[in-house]
Amino acid sequence: MPELLFEVQGPQNRPLEVMIRKNGKNLTATCTCSAGVEDICQHRINILSGSDQEIIGNKAEDVKKVVSWVAGTDVSKAMHDLVESLKRLENAKEDFSSARRRLVKALKD
């Protein structure tokens, strides 16, 4: 079972560990941060989506390897859904800001 270990920058410059394992079509990712215990943390999302942001050391090739592991696993659709939801959320935030500006302008007339 292939696995990769990443050290990432945590709060107060404390390093954290992200472990990613692939077993057939199953991908497992754990993180030692407090959010990673019960929920998904940004550390894992970043690595799974191909970002080496906050990774300590040069692990760009390992991040690319993880991204290649995601395709065809149980995580692939969930990651796709998360990315699409984030896009919709950003659009909703823009729509909200625009509507708020229109209301401010209308109230000044």
pLDDT for position 39: 85
Residue 105: count other Cβ atoms within 10 Å of its Cβ. Answer: 9
**pLDDT tens, position by position, 21-72:** 999 999 999 999 988 777 889 999 999 999 988 899 989 999 999 999 999 8
The pLDDT confidence band at residue 92, using thresholds 50, 70 and 90, is very high
CA angle 54, 17, 11 (to 5 degrees): 55
Q: Is the pLDDT of residue 97 over 90?
A: yes
Domain count, the chain: 1
Q: Quote the domain boundaries for residue 98.
A: 3-108
Q: Is the pLDDT of residue 1 over 90?
A: no
d(CA 2, CA 92): 39
Structure tokens at 41: 């943390």
In the block, residue with structure tokens 């998360």: 82
In the block, residue with structure tokens 């625009």: 98
- Could you tell me the pTM of the whole model? 0.80
